[in-house]
Chain A
Amino acid sequence: MAQATTLTVPAPTSGAALPRALRSLGLLRESWVGMVGAGLVLFWVAVALLAPLIAPFGPNATLVPFQKPGAAFAGNASVPPGTFWLGTDHLGRDILSRLIWGSRTVLTYAPLATLCAYTVGSIMGLAAGYLRGWVDDVLSRIADIILSFPVLVLYVIIIATFGASPINIIFAITFASGPGIMRIVRGLTLDLRSREYVAAAETRGDSPWRIMLVEILPNARGPVIVDACLRLGYVTITIGVLGFLGLGLPPPNPDWGGMINEARSMAMAFPHMTLFPCFAISSLILGFNLLADGLREISLRD
């Protein structure tokens, strides 16, 4: 299969990692696309962190059903009065509050699932690219077979077999996107394994895994970070799609995809119930994708 992605490997650098990371973040200022992306992502991260402070109501509190956006809430015995800025759903839950709390769900599971997929994919990719031989053959063949499934079909089968739960969703995402990550890391490893510092470590007698994890992996970080950012977007889409199809996280805790699924049948009469979660999830994914584009632009520059 021909892939038109270009992989660039940055020159190995020494020195403290943290100031360098800060400097690359500063470089992001040069790409307005990246800045917009970073802004969107940071906005949702801030919303998720501050959820208890900024959400006007509890995410699962049932107040007044079917309220239009901007409707006033007179208050009751346990909840003080306020405004439903984005309206309420069919069970009377405030949509703005559910959106705010829902950002916690997606910003917990998407990075967690991506991290799991990266751990598995990187180890497989490093092993395939550095050890070569039969390890490479076996791992690449397995990756080919998993990648031959249409992605969503694979998710649907896995979730249908094992049931919808957070741990199964993370497992399904790891299983489905691990091979893609493996291919990227394998390609980078094949390039990096012929560098002098790897030869030096080999001469020193370092163990293969030490070389892979300490010498090769840190130097492959540039393209990997860009890919991770894009993949975060895909994983966010996946979590949303699974929620939308009714295969996502079990209710009642707010999940954007699930909110859209619950309100779908009422979209005709109450479009606000589906529109706002759609805006939320699209803006977060857009943030990840723009950030990835900005990062790629910067990494190509130096």
Chain B
Amino acid sequence: MLILISKRLGLMALTMVVVSMLVFLLLEVNIHGVATKVLGPYSTQDQREIWLKDNGYFDPLYQRYLRWLGHFVGGDLGQSVRFKAPVADILFPRLRNTAILGLGVFVVLIPVSLTLGILAGMREGSKLDRVISVSSIITTSVPEFASSVFLAAIFVFGLRWLPGTSTMTDGFTLKQLILPILVLVLYDFGYVARMTRASMAEVMTTHYIRTAVLKGLPYRQVILKHALRNALIAPFTVIMLQVSWLLSGVIVVESFFAYRGFGALILEASLNQDIFVIEACAMTAVFVAVSTQTLADIGYTYLNPRIRFR
């Protein structure tokens, strides 16, 4: 187990290093582009040259990369061009807001999708199964921006129950979180439910379930005591991996509802070519995604004794 964990952590570190190279190459290999983005399109050639020289951009690429990585690891994320402030000061409050949103999503997503998946997988091919499967295809087919439009049309313009923006400018209110959470859950629950259903349906065909049914246990008890524990191993991984998906989803939802979170920040940064914010956001997003993947891997091995000592 310890070997496995250290192996996974090593792999994670390796991935992060390669990703950092990728991000660096993508955004900083063209130094004149960097200077233009930092100083603006109306800066003169001389100004850019001076800036590049002052900031050591004429050093060899590998030196620049190592220095950049050193700053990053040390927590110095650079200055935002647009906000004229250190990137870290902007990034962390935004991350906190997105974490709140994400927590809300998972609190709703997990019980809903697991319940539906289990109900559908319990009796494969039943009417309930078909209804749940088809409706999960339908909800997954509506992209987040479209469901935002639909839900806003119903609850904001039609019924006037909920606010159309979630800026949280007058303090934090739960009411403003409802629509963003609903949109994200609506898009994603179908996928998790389908995965849970597949896992549940597979467990239901095993011999030990047949034995339990044949020896006369009540159906309820077969499901609760025998089937669920094994059927929930696979969905655990799937749910962990939804964190990575959520980082994509929040870009659309936060920009639609004007929620001041991480997703809105990365979009603003890329639309304004705010290069150091883009870098910091990209690295943060990949770090969060990779660490949840690592956690999912380790957790899966821990939960599933069959593959424990691979």
User: A6-B198, A279-B146, A289-B141 are known contacts; what are 9 more A-B pairs with Cβ within 8 Å?
Assistant: A2-B237, A145-B18, A149-B19, A150-B286, A156-B266, A240-B143, A245-B255, A274-B149, A281-B146
The answer to whether B285 touches A241 (Cβ under 8 A) is no
The answer to whether A153 touches B234 (Cβ under 8 A) is no
Residues in A lying within 8 Å of B, measured CB to CB: 1-2, 4, 6, 33, 144-145, 148-153, 156-161, 233, 237, 240-241, 244-247, 257, 260, 264, 267-268, 271, 274-275, 278-279, 281-282, 285-286, 288-290, 293
| Residue from the list A4, A151, A153, A293 in contact with B198, Cβ < 8 A | A4
Known: A150-B248, A274-B149. A157 touches B238 (CB 8 A): no
Nearest Cβ distance between residue A249 and chain B, in whole angstroms? Answer: 16
Q: Nearest chain-B residue to A293 (Cβ)?
A: B137
Residues in chain A near residue B251, CB distance under 8 A? 152-153, 156, 245
CA distance A149 to B27 in the complex (A): 16
27 contacts between A and B (CB under 8 A): A1-B237, A2-B234, A144-B15, A145-B15, A145-B19, A145-B22, A148-B286, A148-B293, A150-B286, A150-B289, A152-B247, A152-B251, A153-B251, A153-B281, A157-B282, A161-B26, A161-B27, A241-B145, A241-B252, A247-B271, A260-B149, A271-B153, A274-B149, A278-B145, A285-B143, A290-B141, A293-B137
B227 contacts A by Cβ under 8 Å: no
Nearest Cβ distance between residue B180 and chain A, in whole angstroms? Answer: 15
Residues in B lying within 8 Å of A, measured CB to CB: 15, 18-19, 22-23, 26-27, 133-134, 137-138, 140-146, 149-150, 152-153, 157, 164, 195, 198-199, 234, 237-238, 241, 244-245, 247-249, 251-252, 255-256, 266-267, 269-271, 273, 278, 281-282, 285-286, 289-290, 293, 296-297, 300
Q: Nearest chain-B residue to A263 (Cβ)?
A: B149
CA distance A188 to B42 in the complex (A): 54
| Residue from the list A4, A152, A288 in contact with B252, Cβ < 8 A | A152
Nearest Cβ distance between residue A115 and chain B, in whole angstroms? Answer: 21
Residues in chain A near residue B18, CB distance under 8 A? 145
CA distance A144 to B255 in the complex (A): 29
Q: Nearest chain-A residue to B301 (Cβ)?
A: A2
Known: A145-B18, A153-B285. A2 touches B145 (CB 8 A): no
Give the tally of cross-chain contacts (CB within 8 A): 135
Q: Nearest chain-A residue to B273 (Cβ)?
A: A160
The answer to whether B234 touches A285 (Cβ under 8 A) is no
Residues in chain B near residue A150, CB distance under 8 A? 244-245, 247-248, 285-286, 289
Residues in chain A near residue B146, CB distance under 8 A? 240, 260, 278-279, 281-282
The answer to whether B141 touches A233 (Cβ under 8 A) is yes
User: Looking at chain A's contact residues, is the secondary structure mostly helix, strand, loop, or mixed?
Assistant: helix
Most interface-central of A153, A260, A288 (chain B CB within 10 A): A153
Residues in chain A near residue B143, CB distance under 8 A? 237, 240-241, 281-282, 285
Residues in chain B near residue A4, CB distance under 8 A? 195, 198-199, 234, 238
CA distance A148 to B13 in the complex (A): 12
Known: A241-B143, A271-B153, A282-B142. A148 touches B248 (CB 8 A): no
Residues in chain A near residue B145, CB distance under 8 A? 240-241, 244, 257, 260, 278
The answer to whether B141 touches A245 (Cβ under 8 A) is no
Residues in chain A near residue B195, CB distance under 8 A? 4
Known: A152-B251, A245-B255. A275 touches B282 (CB 8 A): no
Q: Nearest chain-B residue to A290 (Cβ)?
A: B137
CA distance A240 to B199 in the complex (A): 32
Nearest Cβ distance between residue B226 and chain A, in whole angstroms? Answer: 20
Nearest Cβ distance between residue B80 and chain A, in whole angstroms? Answer: 15
Residues in chain A near residue B153, CB distance under 8 A? 267, 271, 275
The 9 closest A-B pairs by CB, nearest first: A160-B270, A152-B248, A286-B141, A150-B247, A278-B146, A244-B145, A285-B141, A153-B285, A282-B142
The answer to whether A1 touches B293 (Cβ under 8 A) is yes
CA distance A281 to B144 in the complex (A): 11
The answer to whether B270 touches A285 (Cβ under 8 A) is no
Known: A2-B237, A150-B244. A271 touches B157 (CB 8 A): yes
Q: Nearest chain-A residue to B194 (Cβ)?
A: A4
CA distance A50 to B212 in the complex (A): 60
CA distance A275 to B241 in the complex (A): 31
Nearest Cβ distance between residue B282 and chain A, in whole angstroms? Answer: 6
Residues in chain A near residue B255, CB distance under 8 A? 245
The answer to whether A149 touches B141 (Cβ under 8 A) is no
